[in-house]
């Protein structure tokens, strides 16, 4: 599939020129003279490169690029400008992460080469992103190898948690971080001795105290690996309870980050609907009933309602 290069300029003549220059050049060129519509398009479609004018009515190029960074951080941004003063240039580089400036009027060769460089950068970012995701997923599967009780648990928790995040209309970036955090939520179990992890019975008090360390141990590892705050929060707080009786910090209600509250619902449901050595799995209906009975105690009532109504497990 051809990658999309989006040109935004209030001057239609420039847009027509861009269409002509990029005809048969191996990319899908889209042109728009309305930055508001362009921003909507960037939020809905996969745009590899955005080439924007700066001086436009209603929304300037800097504002468009700044907003595009939120809805599509991976899109590589280029700014065309007739005159860039120092403050505009600094803002574009520091705040908006503009990849390159092109002075207007531009030469076709210069624009073609700049967009080619931007597409190369976009592809590199895509590869890095995929590799990152593969590494995180492999790590989650390695943890499951140690904990024989929970095979497939991380993938299922991620699937339920992302469904809840989607139902809450959280951004795609947030959904992705919630997926990563769900995969890694129990990564601190790597530090729990196997005779405790695979005890096959209810843990005694001292074993349980040892097991409880897995959330803070895992968060330490995630911090050292420079993972995002969302991922760290999920690992650290996924055993906090809505009523404040959880661990490790005893946070209560909305003091618990939303990403952790979401993963708690997903984690509890999956634990109940999976076999454990000391009990068989509950049926889907029984597990949902038990999750509902935890509203306001272990789990946030609104998120439980959302899970029960919008995110019926497959
Ligand atoms: Fe856990």
> Does pLDDT of 257 surpass 70?
yes
In the reported structure, the alpha carbon of residue 196 is separated from the centroid of ligand 1 by a whole-number distance in angstroms of 14
Domains defined along the chain, listed by start:
4-124 (3.40.50.2300), 147-310 (1.10.3210.10)
137 membership: H or E segment, kind and range: helix 108-146
In the reported structure, the alpha carbon of residue 33 is separated from the centroid of ligand 1 by a whole-number distance in angstroms of 51
> Does pLDDT of 313 surpass 80?
no
Can you give the pLDDT at residue 140? 86
In the reported structure, the alpha carbon of residue 239 is separated from the centroid of ligand 1 by a whole-number distance in angstroms of 6
Pick 242 or 189 by higher pLDDT.
242
Side-chain half-sphere exposure of 38, counting CA atoms within 13 A: 32
Q: 292: how many CB neighbours lie within 10 A of its CB?
A: 14
The pLDDT tens digits for 177-216 are 999 999 999 999 988 888 888 887 888 999 999 999 999 9
DSSP output for 188-248: GGGGS-HHHHT-SS---HHHHHHHHTHHHHHHHHHHHTT--HHHHHHHHHTT--TTS--SS
The pLDDT tens digits for 17-71 are 999 999 999 999 999 999 999 999 998 889 999 999 988 988 999 999 999 988 8
Q: Tokens 């360390």 identify what position? A: 213
DSSP output for 64-132: HHHHHHHH-TTSEEEEEES---HHHHHHHHHTT---EEEESSPPHHHHHHHHHHHHHHHHHHHHHHHHH
Strand 49-53 with 100-103, pairing: unpaired
The pLDDT tens digits for 138-174 are 988 888 887 766 778 999 999 999 999 999 988 877 8
Radius of gyration of the chain (CA): 24
C-alpha closest to that of 249 among 240, 260, 259: 240
The interaxial angle of helices 108-146 and 153-167, nearest 10 deg, is 130
Is residue 171 a contact partner of residue 70, using CB atoms and an 8 Å limit? yes
pLDDT band at 235 (very low <50, low <70, confident <90, very high): very high
Length of the chain in terms of residues written: 314
Mean pLDDT of the chain: 90
In the reported structure, the alpha carbon of residue 48 is separated from the centroid of ligand 1 by a whole-number distance in angstroms of 38
Distance (Å, whole) CA 70 – CA 59: 16
Can you give the pLDDT at residue 89? 77
- Whole-model pTM: value is 0.70
Distance (Å, whole) CA 5 – CA 118: 10
Across 93-119, b (16+ Cβ under 10 Å) vs e yields: eeebebbbbbebebeeeebeebbeebb
In the reported structure, the alpha carbon of residue 185 is separated from the centroid of ligand 1 by a whole-number distance in angstroms of 6
Can you give the pLDDT at residue 312? 65
Can you give the pLDDT at residue 87? 75
In the reported structure, the alpha carbon of residue 165 is separated from the centroid of ligand 1 by a whole-number distance in angstroms of 20
Distance (Å, whole) CA 148 – CA 198: 7
Read off the tokens for 235: 């690992």
Q: What are phi and psi of 5, to 5 degrees?
A: -115, 120
Can you give the pLDDT at residue 314? 61
Active centre residues (catalytic): 189
């Amino acid at each position: 599939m051809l990658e999309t290069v989006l040109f935004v300029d209030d001057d239609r003549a420039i847009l027509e020129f861009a269409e002509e220059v990029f005809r048969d050049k191996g990319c899908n060129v889209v042109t728009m003279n309305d930055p508001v519509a362009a921003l909507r398009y960037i939020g809905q479609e996969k745009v590899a490169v955005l080439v924007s004018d700066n001086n436009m009515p209603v929304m300037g190029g800097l504002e468009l690029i700044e907003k595009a960074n939120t809805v599509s951080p991976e899109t590589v941004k280029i700014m065309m400008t007739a005159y860039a003063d120092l403050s505009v240039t600094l803002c574009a580089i520091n705040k908006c992460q503009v990849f390159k400036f092109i002075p207007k009027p531009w030469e076709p060769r210069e624009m073609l080469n700049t967009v080619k460089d931007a597409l190369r950068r976009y592809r590199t970012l895509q590869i890095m992103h995929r590799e990152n995701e593969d590494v995180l997923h492999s790590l989650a599967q390695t943890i499951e190898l140690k904990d024989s009780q929970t095979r497939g648990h991380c993938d299922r928790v991620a699937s339920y948690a992302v469904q809840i995040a989607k139902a809450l209309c959280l951004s795609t970036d947030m959904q992705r971080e919630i997926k990563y955090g769900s995969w890694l939520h129990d990564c601190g179990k790597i530090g729990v001795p196997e005779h405790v992890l695979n005890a096959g019975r209810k843990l005694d008090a001292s074993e349980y105290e040892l097991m409880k360390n897995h959330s803070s141990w895992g968060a330490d590892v995630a911090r050292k690996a420079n993972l995002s705050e969302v991922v760290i929060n999920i690992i650290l707080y996924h055993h906090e309870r809505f009523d404040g009786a959880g661990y490790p910090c005893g946070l209560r209600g909305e003091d618990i980050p939303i990403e952790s509250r979401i993963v708690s619902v997903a984690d509890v449901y999956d634990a109940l609907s999976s076999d454990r050595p000391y009990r068989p799995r509950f049926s889907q209906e029984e597990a949902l009933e038990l999750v509902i009975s935890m509203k306001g105690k272990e789990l946030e009532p609104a998120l439980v309602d959302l899970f029960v109504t919008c995110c019926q497990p497959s």
